[in-house]
Amino acid sequence: MSVAIVGGGPGDPGLVTVRALELVRGCEILVYDRLVAPALVAKAMGAARISRDGLTQEEVNELLVHHGRRGRRVVRLKGGDPFIFGRGFEEVEALAAAGIDYEVVPGRSTFTAVPGLAGIPLTTRGVAAQLTILTGTSGDASDLDYDHLAATPGTLVIFMGLKRPEHLADNLILAGRPVDEPAAVVSRLSLPGSETRVGTLGTIAAVARGLKTPSLVIVGDVVASTEHLRTAVDVATRRAA
């Protein structure tokens, strides 16, 4: 292996894979994203650490190819999973075109961490059997197909939705999703200061004000399931007291 494209998980360095930690500790060059925990970056002791901030995707590709051609142990450390809204495949394509050996190490995506860490089951029997994952900010500046999303059953999980929650909610409602459909915003999942706020599609823009990125917007009846669970726990706690 010359270059490894590594998923750093949802934020907490304790949630990275064993293989990811092994590669970070043994690399000579570490190219890391802003969302990667500083504690994880610090594990690359003795490595040259290069922040991706301020670099274009083309410059990142060139950096990986440059060091890969010289046979250095390079780790490209990305938040979440490199193949889920992480441009990991673009970097793999650049390495493959240059004839450089590479390895892809999946990471736990933020959306897969939601059920356990935020307490929202993205699918659950009798409520939602389908899950749609999308980004609220398109790389080519095109808008979403709201008619399609409104007609799609189950749960919507929107990455980067905090940049324009009112626009997203209004257009989903105009396309036919219920204004009172449960919705939640999960901010900084697994990190200090993590917060989950719950409302409806009609109120989620107001509910989300002041929250920090990274965040996910979740739309669907599964959010109400979470509120029912919390209510049941509160009732049981009061009875025990």
Pairing of strands 29-32, 74-78: parallel
Please determine, for residue 92, whether its predicted confidence score (pLDDT) is greater than 50. Answer: yes
pLDDT tens track for 110-137:
999 998 899 999 999 999 999 999 998 7
What is residue 213's predicted lDDT score, i.e. its pLDDT? Answer: 85
Q: 116-120, 129-133, 155-159, 235-239: which range is least confident on average?
A: 235-239
Number of neighbouring beta carbons within 10 Å of residue 131: 15
pTM of the model: 0.87
Specify the 3-state DSSP secondary structure of 102. Answer: strand
- 118 in Cβ contact with 12 (< 8 Å): no
pLDDT tens track for 199-231:
999 999 999 999 988 899 999 999 988 766 565
Specify the 3-state DSSP secondary structure of 106. Answer: coil
Pairing of strands 48-51, 29-32: parallel
Q: Put residue 72 in one of left, alpha, beta given phi > 0 → left and psi -120 to 50 → alpha.
A: beta
Please determine, for residue 140, whether its predicted confidence score (pLDDT) is greater than 70. Answer: no
Q: Report d(CA 219, CA 221) in Å as an integer.
A: 7
Strand order in the sheet with 29-32: 48-51, 29-32, 74-78, 3-7, 102-105
Q: Report d(CA 233, CA 24) in Å as an integer.
A: 41
Q: Extract the tokens encoding 155.
A: 């749960």
